[in-house]
Amino acid sequence: MNPVLLIFLALLAFVAPCKAEPPPHIPKGFTLQWQPDFTNDAVVKELDTTDANAWRVSNAKGKPALELSGASNYEYKVQSPRSIALLTDRKFGDFVFEAELLQTSGDYAHRDLCLFFGFQDPGHYYYVHFASKTDDRANQIFIVNEKPFTKITSKTTSGSEWGADKWHKVRVQRIGGSITVWFDDMEKPAMLAEDKTFGSGTIGFGSYNDTGMFANVQLWAPGVEKVTRSGSIFAK
């Protein structure tokens, strides 16, 4: 065989198996489990929502996004978020959930977007509430456990400042009972909590009752539990 061809094949064999390494902040053993394509309407069909009419794929200045475009016609029996979109065919225990968020509602203290995790059913789950101003009902990590949402945060900030028409990078990490949240500053956590009430569950996006967009989503985890979905988890 031609020596030049042999060298080429050897180099190809060396390069082909190589895969991009996870970013350095991703824990060892975690791999990319979900990276949705928001340029395609099909992604909406992957999600189980409290109101399908409130969700669509969109585009903000060239950035493909999942958009929560209006209020959801939904209310659970205990006080809790109304607009939820879940990836219900997979459950995650430990994970790193990253996204960019754009809030599109008018400015007020509880102007918010949320990320959901450990979701068991509409009465049992966790969520991170990113809001402009912090109080016991806003800008915290919450648990819904068949009673009105309750904060479990041990640390938070004075607020998640949305600004106008501005994207924000966020990260939610859960390892064991430790929950860590970042907002814009990826070096310094914005929120912390410890809770082991719920184990593995589904993840998702939403808001208490506002609107916004979600883009550049990546879900890293050491593994995934596949779930067979039969009907909506939010069916009345």
Which of these, 105, 104, 113, 106, lies nearest to 84 by C-alpha position?
113
- Mean pLDDT for 212-219 is 98
Confidence grade of residue 63 (pLDDT, cut at 50, 70, 90) = very high
Confidence grade of residue 115 (pLDDT, cut at 50, 70, 90) = very high
**What stretch of H or E contains 43?**
helix 42-45
Q: Judge whether 109 and 138 are in contact, CB under 8 Å.
A: yes
Q: Per 3-state DSSP, what percentage of the chain is helix, strand, and coil (rounded to 5)? A: 10, 45, 45
* Residue 16 clears pLDDT 90, i.e. is over it: no
Domain 31-224 architecture:
Sandwich (2.60)
Give the separation between CA 210 and CA 24, rounded to whole angstroms: 34
* Residue 12 clears pLDDT 70, i.e. is over it: no
Domain boundaries, the chain: 31-224
- Mean pLDDT for 209-222 is 97
Please provide the average confidence, as pLDDT, over all residues in the chain: 92
The tens digit of pLDDT for each residue in 172-208 reads 999 999 999 999 999 999 999 999 999 999 999 999 9
